[in-house]
Structure 1
Amino acid sequence: MTARLPALFLGHGSPLNAIEDNAWSRTWARLGAELPRPRAVLMISAHWETRGASAVSASEHPETIHDFGGFPQALFDVRYEAPGDPALARRVAELLAPDMVVQHPARGLDHGAWGVLAPMYPDADVPVVQLSLDRGRPDRWHYEAGRRLAVLRDEGVLVVGSGDIVHNLRAADFRTGQVPDWAPRFNDTAKALIAAGDHDPLIDWPSLGPDAQIAINSAEHYLPLLYVLGAQQPGETASFFTDDLFAAVSMTSVRIG
């Protein structure tokens, strides 16, 4: 019988973390070495949004997507050539039925995916399937999708959400890295609710007030967290790591189980 794998939410921050040697990338590398080896990864990244239906990457050989600008050439030179897993893509669609899930034949891995997986699994030998964020769905749907996908944890699949609990680039001063006071306030509020297993306020995050609304902003970096919280099983605890803030971005990561 396959042991249940944890579910992870990884605060991914800058794409440069994929190639820089820093505390965050070293923690991701250590995590990949310490966790039981998964047969595949199901990745929910902030950087693939769809509307009207969810989609999964069904390519056998997903390409490396460089969905950013203004970074050094070394980052554009990265090729993370992990295989895909079309059978897992079909399994995801089965679990989310009757809601539509499009099998995308050519979708690659964006930097929210390979940016954290490259340090975790540098040999790119763990198959990866990416699930889009259907922005036409209410926030609770994303949480419930995590609940429906939780069974994959018992099937050798590592469920990973990649984003940031706090992410508002318009409010960030990257020259100084100064952290606005609302950023740690909301980050601490979110952590307290996660630790308590109190998910409803996190799903209905606008009800958490102005700090939440400015910290979460356009929400694509926050929604992957809801999938991971939805995958939490009764009696499982949540723990935190890479728990830093820089400017208006939180690197806080969450491990369930």
Structure 2
Amino acid sequence: MALKDTFYISHGSPTLSIDESLEARNFLQSWKKDVFPQRPSSILVISGHWDTKVPTVNVVDSVNDTIYDFYNFPKQMYQLKYPAPGAPQLARRVKELLKEAGFSRVDEDTKRGLDHGAWVPLFLMYPEADIPVCQLSVQSHQDGTYHCNMGKALAPLKDEGVLIMGSGSAVHNLRELNRHSGSVAPWALEFDNWLKDALLQGRYEDVNHYEQKAPHAKRAHPWPDHFYPLHVAIGAAGQNSKAKLIHSSIDLGSLSYASYQFTSADS
């Protein structure tokens, strides 16, 4: 079964896994009913929490470990498990496609499981944990165009029933979080709105060069690791794809949970 859509999910805080007050949690829990009822053959997650020198896939033959790559959070979060099967065939297919596209070196990691950029949203989207999952890393020393090209290389996976999902945060500056304010920081809202307008208008090249085009770009993303998964999702959908905003909320003053669906033009 071929798929026409790719996604960028803003996973925000790890507390998304337990905090029922977060709007994004309800959105992800309604995933199969309201957003994407098709069942993928496997899932490829490009997470902002796996940043490597060269593209790297996790090749897991059995069950993915659950990685608790966060600190000083409620104890119950460290007891959650997401034992999704590994997807070694998908991992090797990703490696093959990237090499064919000119990515000269693609590494494998046989020990890494799923970081919280992958398992926290999937825990809500597919709670049964019965769909094979593979992760692909980002390279934060590269740029948006590089990651868009990575996505273009991976586009054939959609025809193989693979759900391609970038996972990051549309606005991600941990130093600017405000736990005591109920209002949204103007700079964060301005960047969030710029991104929405650029994507919905199909100005993907502007998003590729967001550092020069977007207001408050460096403040919204001091490091680009949580933004580049978006570029992979865009590239995999194609430059003529149509973007749809599927969720929008901001927590802690500036942490955006804006999430997008990209539908290929030939759908």
What TM-score, normalized by structure 2, do the two folds share? 0.91
Query: For the residues of structure 1 that align with 2:133 and 2:158, how far apart are their CA atoms?
Result: 14
Query: How far 1:88 moved relative to its partner?
Result: 0.4
Matched to 2:180, the amino acid is: R
Query: For the residues of structure 2 that align with 1:3 and 1:140, how far apart are their CA atoms?
Result: 26
| 1:20 counterpart residue number | 19
Q: Indicate conservation of the 8 Å contact 1:18/1:114, yes or no.
A: no
Count of aligned pairs: 255
| 1:152 counterpart residue number | 157
Secondary structure in structure 1 of the residue aligned to 2:124: helix
Query: Does 2:146 correspond to 1:141?
Result: yes
Query: How far 1:31 moved relative to its partner?
Result: 1.3
Cα separation, partners in 2 of 1:103 and 1:241, compared to 1, 3 Å: same
Query: How far 1:217 moved relative to its partner?
Result: 1.6
Query: For the residues of structure 2 that align with 1:23 and 1:124, how far apart are their CA atoms?
Result: 22
Query: How far 1:242 moved relative to its partner?
Result: 2.2
Query: Does 2:261 correspond to 1:255?
Result: yes
Cα separation, partners in 2 of 1:45 and 1:234, compared to 1, 3 Å: closer
| 1:46 counterpart residue number | 48
Secondary structure in structure 2 of the residue aligned to 1:36: coil
Matched to 2:52, the amino acid is: T
Query: For the residues of structure 2 that align with 1:146 and 1:194, how far apart are their CA atoms?
Result: 16
| 2:58 counterpart residue number | 57
Written as runs of structure 1 = structure 2, the 5 A alignment for 1:194-233 is 194-233=199-238
| 1:186 counterpart residue number | 191
Query: How far 1:108 moved relative to its partner?
Result: 0.6
Query: For the residues of structure 2 that align with 1:6 and 1:238, how far apart are their CA atoms?
Result: 10
Structure 2: stretches of 5+ with no match in the other structure: none
| 2:10 counterpart residue number | 11
Query: How far 1:235 moved relative to its partner?
Result: 5.0
Q: Indicate conservation of the 8 Å contact 2:155/2:237, yes or no.
A: yes
Query: For the residues of structure 1 that align with 2:248 and 2:24, how far apart are their CA atoms?
Result: 9
What TM-score, normalized by structure 1, do the two folds share? 0.94
Cα separation, partners in 2 of 1:229 and 1:114, compared to 1, 3 Å: same
Cα separation, partners in 2 of 1:180 and 1:233, compared to 1, 3 Å: same
Moved more, 229-238 or 201-210: 229-238
Query: How far 1:29 moved relative to its partner?
Result: 2.0
Deviations 1:141-194 (A, max 9, x none): 111101111111111000001111111111121222432111111111111110
Query: How far 1:137 moved relative to its partner?
Result: 2.6
Query: Does 2:102 correspond to 1:96?
Result: no
Query: For the residues of structure 2 that align with 1:140 and 1:233, how far apart are their CA atoms?
Result: 13
Matched to 1:62, the amino acid is: N
Q: Indicate conservation of the 8 Å contact 1:31/1:120, yes or no.
A: yes
Query: For the residues of structure 2 that align with 1:136 and 1:186, how far apart are their CA atoms?
Result: 22
Query: How far 1:30 moved relative to its partner?
Result: 1.6
Query: For the residues of structure 1 that align with 2:2 and 2:158, how far apart are their CA atoms?
Result: 8
Query: How far 1:16 moved relative to its partner?
Result: 1.3
Query: For the residues of structure 2 that align with 1:235 and 1:222, how far apart are their CA atoms?
Result: 20
Cα separation, partners in 2 of 1:49 and 1:234, compared to 1, 3 Å: closer
Secondary structure in structure 1 of the residue aligned to 2:172: coil
Query: For the residues of structure 2 that align with 1:143 and 1:209, how far apart are their CA atoms?
Result: 17
Secondary structure in structure 1 of the residue aligned to 2:149: helix
| 1:243 counterpart residue number | 248
Matched to 1:226, the amino acid is: H
Deviations 1:191-229 (A, max 9, x none): 111011111111111112551221122111111110111
Matched to 1:250, the amino acid is: S
Moved more, 94-103 or 181-190: 94-103
Q: Indicate conservation of the 8 Å contact 1:92/1:149, yes or no.
A: yes
